Amino acid sequence: MGILAHVDAGKTSLTERLLHNAGVIDELGSVDDGSTRTDTMALERQRGITIRSAVVSFVVDGVTVNLIDTPGHPDFIAEVERVLGVLDGAVLVVSAVEGVQAQTRVLMRTLHRLRIPTLLFVNKVDRAGADPERVLRQLAEKLTPAVIATGRVDAPGTRAARCVPFGPDDAGYTDRLVDLLATHDDGLLAGYVEDESAVTWGRLRSVLTAQTGRARVHPVFAGSAITGAGVDALITGIANLLPAAEGDEDGPLSGTVFKVERGPAGEKIAYARIFTGMVRVRDRVRYRRHEAAKVTAISVFEAGDAVPRPAAGAGRIAKLWGLDDIRIGDPLGTPPDRPAGRHHFSPPTLETVVVPCRAADRAALHTALTQLAEQDPLINLRQDDIRQEISVSLYGEVQKEVIQATLADEHGVAVTFRETTTVCVERPVGVGAAVEWIGKEPNPFLGTVGLRIEPAPIDSGVEFRLGIELGSMPLAFLKAIEETIRETLRQGLHGWQVTDCRITLTHGAYWARQSHSHGVFDKSMSSTAGDFRNLTPLVLMDALARAGTRVYEPMHRFRLDVPADLFGAVLPVLARLDAVPRTSTARGTSYLVEGEVPAVRVHALEQRLPSLTRGEGVLESEFAHYRLVGGPAPSRPRWDHNPLNRKDYLLAVARRVTARPEQR
């Protein structure tokens, strides 16, 4: 089960309260004091926010609940993304004071799209300004109409606030429940119309459980993580309404790795959800196609802690040691039906260069960032060998602080950052083709590769096709060509990743394994996969140059709620930030402005908003699409902005490497 929320809605405090009420911990930790069970990073304790997902466990009525506390800040949405693929259910926390916020909407849309059963918890009912009824209306208006309160809150906004569950004698609640459930159950509707008394409380509860489990309706609980009000009712709802995992421990192993961390000795530790089967210490586990490794140790989560165990079965979250090459998103054994590697949120659209404060730390910085990329693959490391610089992708500015603090605290490397820039993409303009023939100058490699590149539909990614007979070349050579194509397209003519294109292998040839008369293998006479890995980028960039590319910048869709009397002052600021308002709607004392803004301008808009709107403005934004850049295309540092120069350079290197010793 995942706990999700907008930042500061009280997620981690609720996790602490659930552990306390379930009897796992004797004393409540505090986010403000940095003493919670799930916030273990020094920076998490200092800032009072969750940065990395954390796992705890407790038992309710014989049901083991593996709970994953996730970050609420949008800069760390990648942590949430990796968790979604392993959830049976979720609790979405909303503040009774602030109500539905930007990240709340993003999370609920994603949970709804993935059909993850979700309970809603309106937290902080004891805080001044709490208005549970207003928030309930917001949930129905801004998230989904398929919500229903399971109780009422007495004395909201005071420390005496308490939550009273509705029961079978509450006619108003029963009627609302029938109205909601009958939308998806014709039998219930017919029975209620024929004889209201025939629809018993037990039947309503049974239908509510079934429809919640299918993510059709979302019961709403209310309470306070600090005082504990309403939390016992939520725990009961978790046990009764969210579906338990149905995994066969006797079946084949199937699991997904959703988190990777390093232990005290630098060893990799993989967090895996086991869907079916069993994994045991000393088992050789297959992952990432045909690779396999021996599991050297296992821990499972029990009573709030990870405890060593000889095995972990279906339904468990296990910490696994020994899988040194494991990566986030890797399936264990048989790939599950819901892989964690899928993207549920938009990719990072910002980038910055990480600069070591001491030149001597360059090698250490590269090693440290590589380890961070294992824990967060979406930071997308990119190294510029010419300028000796490393770039990382970002969701926002707060990520810089986290990366900087982590490098200093855990790796002893002090860094600064260059100015944040936008991550663009390139798309081919036309069709381009190129070929290099084996044994013909200037091709120094023992292989023939011909490629054609052409545009493909928007958001289709990169498609590789064979234009030659499948058996005309060894499968290892074809695999080397395809993998190299995808790697090469990370930097196009202007240095940006090339996407939405179709690559066809039009020509392919090789020299079979040969040896001298005395039987000794001579690699200078025989093609290897390395020949195709070296030759493919040259042909591909040649074809891409002939096709041409255009650069596209990321655009965000925004919703801006501002006071009506400041609407006129906000519009010129939006114009200066290149934002394009599409609609503006009067809503009582405020205006809702919707439109698009370049991703690079979102942070500036967020900074200007409080002073511009007396702190009353509310901004929501999310990636919408890529827009063609007008004017000169922005270039990203790379080998060389001219791919033909790059080709000449690589050919020169190739000739030097492959030349016989007497020719060097």
| pLDDT > 90? residue 320 | yes
Instruction: Flag the least confident range among 174-183, 207-216, 535-544.
Output: 174-183
Higher pLDDT, residue 467 or 344: 467
Work out the pLDDT band at 657, boundaries 50, 70, 90.
very low
Contact criterion met (CB below 8 Å) for 116 and 215: yes
pLDDT grade for 348, boundaries at 50, 70 and 90: confident
State mean pLDDT over 558-567. Answer: 89
Q: Above 70 in pLDDT, residue 73?
A: no
Q: How confident is the model at residue 340 (pLDDT cuts 50, 70, 90)?
A: very low
Max intra-chain CA distance, the chain: 99
**pLDDT for residue 425:** 92
Q: Is the pLDDT higher at 555 or at 421?
A: 555
Work out the percent of the chain whose per-residue pLDDT is above 70: 86
Question: Once rounded to an integer, what is the mean pLDDT over residues 327-348?
Answer: 70
pLDDT confidence of 500, banded at 50, 70, 90?
Answer: very high
Residue 490: CB atoms within 10 A of its CB come to 13
Average pLDDT of the residues in 128-134? 94
Over residues 279-292, the pLDDT tens digits come to 999 999 988 765 78
For residue 378, the model assigns a pLDDT of 67
Q: Which two tokens stand for residue 520?
A: 């000794």
pLDDT at 352 over 60: yes
Give the model's pLDDT for residue 663: 36
What is the average per-residue pLDDT within 314-331?
A: 88
Residue with tokens 């949120």: 345
* Residues 399, 445: Cα–Cα separation, whole Å: 43
Element (H, E) at 598: strand 590-598
Query: What phi, psi does 647 have (nearest 5°)?
Result: -65, -45
Supply the pLDDT for residue 343.
54
pLDDT band at 516, cuts 50/70/90? low
- pLDDT at site 604: 85
**Quick check: 437 pLDDT over 60?**
yes
Any idea what DSSP says for residue 471? G
Q: What is the pLDDT of residue 639?
A: 44
Of 137-146, 331-340, 359-368, 540-549, least confident by mean pLDDT is: 331-340
pLDDT of residue 225: 92
Task: State how far the Cα of 170 lies from the Cα of 151, in Å rounded to an integer.
Answer: 10
- Lowest model confidence (mean pLDDT) among 149-153, 242-246, 563-567, 632-636: 632-636
Residues 6+ positions from 360 with CB-CB distance below 8 Å: none
**Higher pLDDT residue, 349 or 3?**
3
- For residues 638 and 73, which has the higher predicted lDDT (pLDDT)? 73
Q: 110-119, 209-218, 345-354, 525-534 — which is least confidently predicted? A: 345-354
pLDDT at residue 9, as a whole number: 87
- 112-121 residue pLDDT tens: 888 999 999 9
pLDDT number for residue 46: 61
Look at residue 373 in the predicted model and tell me its pLDDT.
Answer: 80
Burial bucket for residue 544 (CB in 10 Å: 0-12, 13-18, 19+):
buried
C-alpha span between 286 and 289 (Å, rounded): 7
Question: According to the model, what pLDDT value does residue 27 have?
Answer: 77
Quote the CA–CA distance of 324 and 291 in Å, as a whole number. Answer: 11
| Long-range pairs for 415-420: beta carbons < 8 A, 24 or more residues apart | 415/354, 415/355, 415/356, 415/357, 415/365, 416/355, 416/357, 417/352, 417/353, 417/354, 417/355, 418/352, 418/353, 418/355, 419/352, 420/350, 420/351, 420/352, 420/394, 420/600, 420/603
How far apart (Å, rounded) are the C-alpha atoms in residues 659 and 653?
10
Residue 204 clears pLDDT 80, i.e. is over it: yes
Output 173 or 603, whichever has higher pLDDT. Answer: 173
Buried b / exposed e over 590-628, threshold 16 CB at 10 Å, is: bbebebbbbbbbbeebeebbeebbeeebbbbbbbbebee
Instruction: Summarize the confidence of residues 605-619 as an average pLDDT.
Output: 84
What pLDDT score was predicted for residue 651?
54
Structure tokens belonging to residue 49 = 């926010």
Q: Show the tokens assigned to 619.
A: 């901004």
More confident residue, 615 or 463: 463
Mean residue pLDDT of the chain comes to 84
Q: Tell me the pLDDT tens digit for each residue of 89-108.
A: 999 999 999 998 877 888 88
For 2-20, what is the mean pLDDT?
87
Which helix (H) or strand (E) element contains residue 213?
Answer: helix 201-213
Residue 642 confidence (pLDDT) above 50? no
Q: How far apart are CA 69 and CA 93, in angstroms?
A: 11
Residue 661 banded pLDDT, cuts 50, 70, 90: very low
pTM, two decimal places = 0.72
**Which residue would you say has higher pLDDT here, 339 or 8?**
8
pLDDT of 138-188, one tens digit each? 999 888 999 999 999 999 999 999 999 998 888 889 889 988 998 888 888
Position 502 pLDDT exceeds 90: yes
pLDDT of residue 664: 32
